[in-house]
Chains A and B, each alone.
Chain A
Amino acid sequence: MDESQSISATSQAAISPPLVANETRKNRREKVGDTLTFFLMAFPALFFLLIFNYLPMVGLVIAFQRFRFQEGIFGSEWVGFQNFEFLFSPTSGVRITVNTLGLNALFIFTTLVASLFVAIMLNEVRESLVQRFYQLSLFFPYFISWIIAGYFVFALLNTNDGLVNQMLVSLGYEPIRWYSSPEYWPAILTLTNLWKQIGFWSIVYLAGILGINPELYEVSQIDGANKLQQVFRITIPMLSSLIIINVLLSVGRIFYADFGLFFHVPRDSGLLYPTTDVIDTFVYRALRQTGDIGMAAAAGFYQAIVGFVLVLISNWIVRQVDPEQALF
C-alpha cells in the first residue's frame, strides 16, 4: 500500500510539473516526520516507565526464588512455592488479607457516605466566603503528609499527655493506652482516613451536584417537595452513576492499602498488628526489617495478581454501567 503510493508519487513526478511533485513529496515526508516527532515526545516518559515499571515486572519471579542480593534475579536458587507458606498462617497471610479487605471496605463505605453528606451540605451554603472557609478546612488534610498526620494523631492519643486521655481523666474515666490496644484501631484508622479523604471526595460530589439541572429542583419545589425529599428523590438518583463508578473503582483497588496511613499513624507498633497490619506494611517489614525477601516478594506477587483480577472485574462492571467511564 505504502509502496504503491510512493511509486505513483514518483511516476507522477515524472509527468506533472515539478512544483506539484515537490508538494506531494513534502507532504509525505512530513507525515513520517510527524510520527517520528511524536515518538520522540513520548520517548522520555516511556523510558522511565520501562525502567521503573516494566522491567521490575520481570522481578515477579523472585517470589519463587531464595533471593540473594549477590546472585541477583538470574543467579538465585529456585524454591517453588515455598515462599508462599505464610499465606496460610493465621498471624500473617490470613490476618493481612482480612485486615486489608475489611478496613478498605470500611473506608470505602464511610468515605462515600460522609463525603456525599458534606457535599450536599456545602451545596446549601450560599455565602461564598463561608463556603470557601468550610471547603478549605475540609480540604486542608489533603495537603498534609502521613508523617505529620501521624504527629497529629499522636498529640490526640498519646497515653500520658494526649488530649483525648486528658479529657477522659477530667471526666473521671481511666486513661486508655491507645498505642497498645488493638481493639480501638479499626475505628481510629477509619476516622483518620475520613479526615484525610473527605475534602477530596466532597469536591468530586459537589461538582456532580452542581452539574444537575436546576429545573429539576424548581419543579419539585412547586410540587411541594421539601429539602430532604429533594436529596433522596433528585440529588442521590442523579449522582448514582458517579457514585457507582467511584465505588467500583475503589473496590478494584481494595487489595492495595494506603501504606502511609497503616505505617505512620499506628507508629508501626507491634502490639497493634492484629488490627493494623495490612499487605503493604507486611511486605515492607519483610523486605526492610526482617530481611525475608522471598516472603516479601511472595506477598507482593499475591497482591499484584489478586489485585489485577479485581481491577479487571470492577472495570468490566463499570463498562456495563457506563462505557465512557471505564478505564479501558
Chain B
Amino acid sequence: MQLSRPIRRFVDNSIVHLIMLLISLGMLIPMLLILSASFSSEAALSEYGYRLIPVEWSLEAYQFILRAPERIIRAYGVTIFVTVFGSAFSLFITSLVAYAIARKTFRFRNVVAFVVFFTMLFNGGLVPWYIMITRYLDLRNTIWVLILPYAVIPWFVLLLRTYFARLPEEILDAARVDGANEWQVFFRIVMPMSTPALATIGLFLMLMYWNDWWLGLLFIDDPDLMPLQLLLYNIQNNISYLRSNTMTRNIVIPAQSVRMALAIVAMGPAVFLALFFQKYFVSGITLGALKD
C-alpha cells in the first residue's frame, strides 16, 4: 500500500530523529557515567559499581576537593597560566607569520611558507626533539616547556593565511596611501578586521593548551608544575598524588569518586568552550576543510 506524502514524510522524519537521538545518547553516556560516579558515595560506588544514576547520592568527593585543594589549585593555576599566556603568545606570532606569507608583495613569501608547511610533512621524531629540549635547551621542569613547543602550529598558520589572503586589498592599500607602514596596517586594519578568524584560532589554541598532557608527561616531574591533565594521569594509579605536605596522614581519600569528580572539574572549562563557542569551532573546521 502506498502511503500518502505527509504520512511518508512523518515516518521518514521520525526514523531520522530516532537514529540521531540514539547516537547522541551513545556519545553522552560515558560522561553521564562519570558525572553520576562523582556524585556517588564511595561506599555505594565500590559496592554497586558505576551506575547511570547514583545509588546513593553524596557530595563527599567534591567536599574532599574543596577541603584539601592545595595540589588541585596549584595544577589549576599552572593550566590556566599555560592556557592564557600560551594562547595569546601563540596567536600573536601565528598571525604575524600568516600575515607575512599572505602578502603578495613579500618577496620571500614562498620560501617562508615552505619552511612553515614542510614541518607538517616531515619531522625528526620524538627522540631528537626530546633530547633537544632536555639536554640542549634544558627546559625540563620549567613552565616554558609547557608553552613554547606548541608556539607555532602550521595548521593554524595555514588557516589564518587563507583568511588574511581573502581580505579586500583595496582597504589595506587605502591605509598605505595614507602613509601607514606594514606594522600599522597589520595592527590597525588587519587585526580588527579579522576578529572572527582570530577568535576561532584563539579558541582552538586554548582548547589545545587546556587539554594537553603530552608535554607534562614528557618534561614535568616537579609536583608544583604539574598541569591539571597530568595530575589526572598520575592519580589514575596512585591517588596519594593529591596529598600535600600539610595534609595529615589519617585523612582517607575517597579514591574512586574523587578521581571522577576531578575529571569533571578538569573538563568543565573545555565543555564550556564547546557549549558557547561551538559556532567558531565549526567555522574553523569548515574553513580548513573547504579552502577554495
Contact = CB atoms under 8 A, between A and B. Distances in A.
A300 B125 contact: yes
B154 to A, nearest CB: 8
B137 to A, nearest CB: 7
B144 to A, nearest CB: 12
Nearest to B289: A204
A179 interface: no
Interface string A147-159: 1111111011010
A141 B24 CA distance: 11
Given A42-B101, A147-B233, A267-B236, A49 B119 contact: yes
Contact of A48 (B12, B27, B152, B267): B152
A140 B121 CA distance: 29
Contacts of A46: 97, 112, 115-116
Contacts of A165: 49
Contacts of B126: 280, 283-284, 287, 296, 300
Chain A interface SS verdict (over half): helix
B241 interface: no
Contacts of B21: 134
Contact of B232 (A60, A147, A203): A147
Q: How large is the interface on A (under 10, 10 to 19, 20 to 34, 35 or more residues)?
A: 35 or more
A158 B99 contact: no
B149 interface: yes
A10 B237 CA distance: 76
A297 to B, nearest CB: 4
A264 B234 CA distance: 11
Of the listed residues B46, B52, B211, B218, the one surrounded by the most CB atoms of chain A closer than 10 A to its CB is B211
A301 interface: yes
B252 interface: no
A5 B120 CA distance: 40
A111 B267 CA distance: 24
A102 interface: no
Given A44-B96, A138-B24, A151 B129 contact: no
Interface stretch (B56-64, B65-73, B179-187, B194-202): B179-187
A324 interface: yes
A56 interface: yes
A185 interface: no
Contacts of B183: 37
A11 interface: no
14 contacts: A37-B181, A46-B112, A49-B119, A51-B137, A62-B128, A69-B131, A124-B13, A155-B34, A165-B49, A166-B51, A242-B289, A296-B127, A300-B128, A311-B122
Interface of A: 33-35, 37-39, 41-42, 44-46, 48-49, 51-60, 62, 67, 69, 72-73, 118, 121-122, 124-125, 130, 132-153, 155-156, 158, 160-163, 165-166, 195, 198-200, 203-204, 207-208, 211, 227, 242, 246, 259-260, 264, 267, 280, 283-284, 287-288, 293, 296-297, 300-301, 303-304, 307-308, 311-312, 324, 327-328
* Closest A-B pairs by Cβ, 8 of them: A59-B128, A161-B49, A300-B125, A152-B30, A45-B97, A145-B211, A56-B124, A137-B24
